[in-house]
Structure 1
Amino acid sequence: MTPAQPAHGSSSPGGSGGGSRWSDLERPPLDEGALRRALVRPGSLWTSLDVVAATGSTNSDLSARAAELPEGAVLVAEEQTAGRGRLDRSWSAPARSGLFFSVLLRPDVPVERLAWLPLLTGVAAATALARAAGADTALKWPNDLLVTVGGEERKTGGILAERAGDGGAVVIGLGLNVSLRAEELPVHTAGSLALADAISTDRDPLLRAVLRSLEEWYGQWTAANGDPAASGLQEAYAAGCATLGRSVRAELPGERTLVGEAIALDGEGRLVVATEGGGQEAVSAGDIVHVRTGTGG
């Protein structure tokens, strides 16, 4: 998720200091009741949906309650004050400027296939945003959503999956910049749906679309026992992945750097990098920089 925190001030249109939930008419609050009626229904994956005005981290909140909640709990925050991305990076944005939510899942699949969950979430989100927002959203391995702003790739969303407790629960968080304005960007490589000229930045239908898409892809994947090929997930991710076919620099654990061309995803969801010496290495964790874009990844 976004690796820096923008400043918040009481005079900022989307900030948290205005006091009124309608302090920014361009950023109305989510309609919790309508979202529940649309998504929490018999036979649905989603069993509860709560919207809170602000919290530190929706992932942390759901993880703390994982033992008492059924699969399909959804927690949405209008503002996150201590949101986390991969590698403990912070994720923060003005109130009601994006979608910040987490879901609790209990996938009955082999443990080695759980690494596909953040990739599945990326496919689901990108698919939904293409339909509901008219935004051409690409996937950057392993957990970023990219849009094009002024001809440049910009990060507009990030995904974080974490095991919760000992009962097989997984909490998946997604942060998505929706209406963030240019002057509110935390870093120059960030973007938003609005800056990418999306046809819609109405968060209610966008959230419904993303959760419905996630339900559909999760259902296909679990029905295939987590098999990424049989469920179509591996093919779909590869088709939408901006990382494949690119020269990349992988910053790996242990301060090791790997440079080469990203050529494939293997069956475990790892990025296969062809190195200059003719070898190949499968990367399971690390920071990936798209070398050719000149945007810093």
Structure 2
Amino acid sequence: MTDSEAPDPQSCPAPQLRPLDEPHLQRRLVEQGPFARLERVDSIASTNARLVQELSGAAGAGWPHLCVLTAEEQTGGSGRLGRSWASPRHSSLSTSVVLRPALPAQGLAWISLLAGTALTEVLREEYGLEAQLKWPNDVHIRGRKISGILAALAGGGPDAGGALILGCGINVLLTEDQLPTPTSTSVLLELQRAQQDGQTQRAQHSDLRTALLAAFLERFAATLTEAESQGSVAPLCPRITAVMDTIGQEVRVELPGGSAERGTAVGLQPDGALLVEVTHRRREADGPWEEQAAEQRSFSAGDVVHLRRR
């Protein structure tokens, strides 16, 4: 979003900040839905860290498959490569889900992509927003980040009696001056922009955070159940790539060790890794650069920067 495209704060009413409607979430997700437990806390350092700690000890028995911990405020969350992340009170969604899925070990690597696909579909279908999935775990709208997803193993992971913890942060009611980075956005800002552009808003809610959290968790649980029934995530790969903007892009993959590779993202591997066609360049003395034969490389970790579509 350029400065000229940004919503005018004078024309946009301030959002009403209120706690999540916990009774509604309990009724919809637990009593009538597939979830075993939902706990809401007022403030927490990190929902992922809290669950990893509890599932590594005796308290883990109280967190079976499909349990949810959500916080009104998160003060010490973390993203990929150890980056810090916090959320203002009553403005974002900071949520973690306990998972013990009936999937082979290789399928666990797809969980973040399944969650990102579920959120992207909800933003598109229920809110009319042009959301896209960015490998491996971000959701963007027009190139601006609206959500980050991070998975962590607890208690050795599902195969060792532990679990996979899936954390998801979503910018919902953040205003321009609250955005964590210049390349971020929020559901509120995107809905306001769509309204100013004359686009139809498909849904308006008095409690946007509660409605979005419920819709996202329902869609994610249904998507995970579909993968479990197939015994593999592979049949869902076309659905994932259909909402992913990374495939076909020229990208730079920034690796955990500090190095980087550049090429064209051409697909996903069976373990969810990104397949990139890397073209090496070389030159002799002061001669011109010459491209070498392309080599396909697989990346299971790293940040991806979209450069331009080929």
Of 33, 36, 43, 2:26 maps to 36
Closer/same/farther in 2, CA of residues 38 and 71 from structure 1, 3 Å limit: same
123-132 or 264-273, larger mean C-alpha shift: 123-132
Q: Which residue of 2 aligns with 1:182?
A: 176
Aligned 8 A contact 1:132 1:205 in 2: no
Equivalent residue number for residue 72 of structure 1: 66
Superposition CA RMSD, Å:
1.7
User: Does structure 2 conserve the Cα–Cα contact (< 8 Å) formed by 1:107 and 1:168?
Assistant: no
Distance 1:178 1:55 in 2: 18
Q: Which residue, out of 260, 264, 267, partners 1:264?
A: 267
Aligned length: 262
Superposed displacement of residue 236, structure 1: 1.1
Check if 1:228 corresponds to 2:233: yes
Contact 2:15 2:173 survives alignment (8 Å) = no
| Equivalent-residue separation in structure 2 for 1:28 and 1:133 (angstroms) | 20
Gaps of 5+ in 1: 1-23
**8 Å CA contact retained: 1:147, 1:193:** no
8 Å contact from structure 1 (residues 45, 71) kept in 2: no
Give the counterpart of 2:44 among 39, 47, 55.
Answer: 55
Greater helix proportion: 2
**Contact conserved, 1:133 with 1:206, CA < 8 A, in 2?**
no
Tell me if the contact between 1:56 and 1:80 (Cα under 8 Å) persists in the aligned partners.
Answer: yes
Q: TM-score, normalised by structure 2?
A: 0.81
Distance 1:25 1:137, change over 3 A: closer
Larger Rg: 2
The amino acid that maps onto 2:68 is V
**C-alpha separation in 2, matches of 1:220 and 1:99:** 25
Q: 1:253 to 1:92 in 2, by over 3 A?
A: closer
CA distance in 2, matches of 1:253, 1:98: 28
Which residue is 2:282 aligned to?
none
Is residue 238 of structure 2 the alignment partner of residue 248 of structure 1? no
Matches within 5 A, 1:148-187: 148=142, 153-166=143-156, 167-187=161-181
TM superposition score normalised by structure 1? 0.84
